Structure 1
Amino acid sequence: MAETERLDTESMPLTERYTPTFDTGVHQKVEPELIEPEPPAPRRRWWHRRSDPARTESPAEVPSTDDLPVTDHHHYVKWWQFILVLLAVWIPAGGIGAGLFYWWSHDSSRHKTAVVFVVLVFVVVSAVAGLMLAMVSDRPLVSALAIAMISAVFAAVVCAGPAYGKFYCEHSQRPCLMGVLPH
């Protein structure tokens, strides 16, 4: 065709868009049958049986507790358990934080590489241990321990605060309240 000639598209047959399905027909598609589940039998408590004198069930008619789904499984800890887990982790972490700051402030060498490396190791170990513990499922105490491990760095910084205040007050000319709080 020459450049000046135009192709007449109006005279061509029209085609529909084609989207391939990649269905070869080898595998039959089976529709799953819809089966309605039976509602679970109501779980009777010991006080329900005693309070209804009109009920006369024989022991064979009472449903076994082995057949009932377990619904009393708690996915939480009590507040006092959570506080105890936090204290069990935060008290050593606070001691570590205060000790590391004391080491840093009383290190007579110019290079504090060792102290900074130990701080880095403490932060990484706390974070990784907390994340690994957080991956355990259906164990609420382990989840509480994971929260405590991740926040152990916070506890270390809070306990290092008074040591920093004392260090600052010893090296500054400003007056300090109780030797740790500059004002």
Structure 2
Amino acid sequence: MDGLGELQHFFSTLAHGISRIDIAFVLAVMAFNILVARFGMWPYSLVTFPGNAGHELMHWFVAKLFFAQPAFPSLWPRRDGDRWIMGSVAFAPSILNAIPVALAPLLLLPLGVMFVSNFMHPATGWTYIFCGWVAGNMLFAALPSGQDWKIAAPSIMVFGLLGCAYYAAVRF
């Protein structure tokens, strides 16, 4: 089996054990997260803590992997003017590491699916609810924040221009 076929087989067997009830429960957790935000930042930060921790730890791990000299993540919410910062990881961005470090939370998508498939689906009772809460929060936090996109944008533009220049040089 070739590499692409093995990858396709892996993803098809990964989601095989996930039922519609599992998906509905995870989506309900994500909707509940949005609802809790109406009650203030502290209830929201408590309910979404697993996702926030996963989001920041993904930044930290990928920054370590790309030698970006990260500081340990801050997971304590703090006010910055009229907005809240749920957590942060300070690192030394460069043109090469800005994109992977800034977009690292996207790695929570396959991790969340694997969590549902391997831990949530066989669980019952309170363990099922706990695993669904963690999985829902992991998937909820998988999207990079606006600040993450601001960090990645210059590198994306540089590599996009380089790719266009390369395409133009090869094509014409």
- TM-score, normalized by the shorter chain, greater than 0.5: no
Compare CA radii of gyration and give the structure with the larger one.
1
Which structure's residues are more often helix, by fraction?
A: 2
What is the TM-score with the length of structure 2 in the denominator? 0.32
